[in-house]
Amino acid sequence: MSHADLSERDTQRVAFAESWIAQDPDPETRAELAALVEAVRAGDAAAASDLADRFDTRLAFGTAGLRGEIAAGPNRMNRVLVAQAAAGLAAYLLEHAEPGETPSVVIGYDGRKNSDVFARDSAELMAGAGVRAILLPRLLPTPVLAFAVRHFDASAGVMVTASHNPPNDNGYKVYLGGENGGSQIVAPADAEIAAHILAVAGGATVDALPRGAFETADEEVVDAYVAATAAVATTDVSGRVQPATVYTAMHGVGWETFARVLDAAGFETPAIVDEQIAPDAAFPTVSFPNPEEPGAMDLSFAHARAANAELIIANDPDADRLAIAIPDASAADGYRRLSGNEVGLVFGWRAAELAVAAAGGDLAPEGTLACSIVSSPGLEAIADAFGLEFRGTLTGFKWISRAPGMIFGFEEALGYLVNPETVRDKDGISAAIAFLDLASRLKYEGRTVADHLDDLVLRFGCFASSQISIRVTDLSQIGAVMARLREEPPSEVGGIGVDRIEDLADGFGDLPPADVLRIVFDDGSRVMVRPSGTEPKLKVYLDTAATAGTVTERRAAAQTALEALEAGMRALVV
- Residue 297 falls inside a structural domain: no
| Beta strands 183-184; 415-417: pairing state | unpaired
Domain assignment present for 108: yes
Is residue 545 situated within a structural domain?
Answer: yes
Domain contains 127: yes
Q: For residues 250 and 257, is the Cβ–Cβ distance under 8 A?
A: no
Give a yes or no: residue 390 inside a domain.
no
Same domain, 32 and 163: no
Residue 356 lies in a domain: no
User: Are 140 and 19 within one domain?
Assistant: no
31 and 67 co-located in one domain: no
Could you list the beta-strand ranges (E) of 56-168: 66-69, 104-109, 132-135, 156-160
Residues 26 and 37 in one domain: yes
15 with 158, same domain: the answer is no
* Contact yes or no for 467/568 (Cβ under 8 A): no
Residue 490 DSSP class: -
Up-side HSE of residue 39: CA atoms within 13 Å toward CB? 15
Burial class (CB in 10 A: 0-12, 13-18, 19+), 392: buried
Termini Cα distance of the chain: 43
Of the three residues 179, 198, 218, the one that is the final residue of a domain is 218
Paired residues of 371 in beta bridges: 392, 410
* Chain length of the chain: 574
Preceding peptide of 188 cis, ω within 30°: yes
Same domain, 31 and 72: no
H or E segment to which residue 355 belongs = helix 340-358
One digit per residue, pLDDT tens: the chain, 574 residues? 445 478 889 999 999 999 999 999 999 999 999 999 999 999 999 999 999 999 999 998 887 789 999 999 999 999 999 999 999 999 999 999 999 999 999 999 999 999 999 999 999 999 999 999 999 999 999 999 999 999 999 999 999 999 988 999 999 999 999 999 999 999 899 999 999 999 999 998 999 999 999 999 999 999 999 999 999 999 999 999 999 999 999 999 999 999 999 999 999 999 999 999 999 999 999 988 999 999 999 999 999 999 999 999 999 999 999 999 999 999 999 999 999 999 999 999 999 999 999 988 766 789 999 999 999 999 999 999 999 999 999 999 999 999 999 999 999 999 999 999 999 999 999 999 999 999 999 999 999 999 999 999 999 999 999 999 988 888 888 999 999 999 999 999 999 999 999 999 988 888 989 999 999 999 999 999 999 876 788 999 999 999 999 999 999 999 999 999 999 999 998 7
Domain end, chosen from 218, 253, 281, is at: 218
170 and 70 Cβ atoms separated by less than 8 Å: yes
Q: Same structural domain for residues 51 and 66?
A: no
Catalytic residue positions, numbered: 163
Extended beta strands in 328-396, E state? 335-337, 368-372, 389-393
Please classify residue 283 by burial: count the beta carbons closer than 10 Å to its beta carbon, then call 0-12 exposed, 13-18 middle and 19+ buried. Answer: buried
Could you tell me the CA-to-CA distances from 538 to 266, 468, 513, 515 in Å, in that order? 44, 8, 18, 11
User: What pLDDT, on the 0 to 100 scale, is given for residue 534?
Assistant: 67
546 and 471 assigned to the same domain: yes
74 and 52 together in one domain = no
In a domain, 483, yes or no: yes
245: number of CA atoms within 13 Å, CB side? 25
Q: Give 397-419 as a DSSP string.
A: HHHHTTSTTEEEEEETTTEEES-
Q: In this structure, what CATH number is given to the domain that contains residue 78?
A: 3.40.120.10
Closest-CA residue to 90 (of 40, 163, 171, 158): 158
User: For residues 435 and 428, what is the distance between their CA atoms, to the nearest angstrom?
Assistant: 10
Read off φ and ψ for residue 509, nearest 5 degrees. Answer: 60, -125
- Whether residue 104 sits in one domain with residue 1: no
Do residues 314 and 335 touch, judged by C-beta distance below 8 A?
Answer: no
Question: Residue 42 and residue 24: Cα distance in Å, rounded?
Answer: 23
Give domain status of residue 146, yes or no.
Answer: yes
The number of folded domains in the chain is 3
Q: Please indicate, yes or no, whether residues 547 and 466 belong to a single structural domain of this protein.
A: yes
Domain boundary among 197, 218, 239: 218
Q: Which domain holds residue 547?
A: 461-573
Greatest pairwise CA separation for the chain in angstroms:
82
pLDDT of residue 4: 47
- Judge if 80 and 212 occupy the same domain: yes
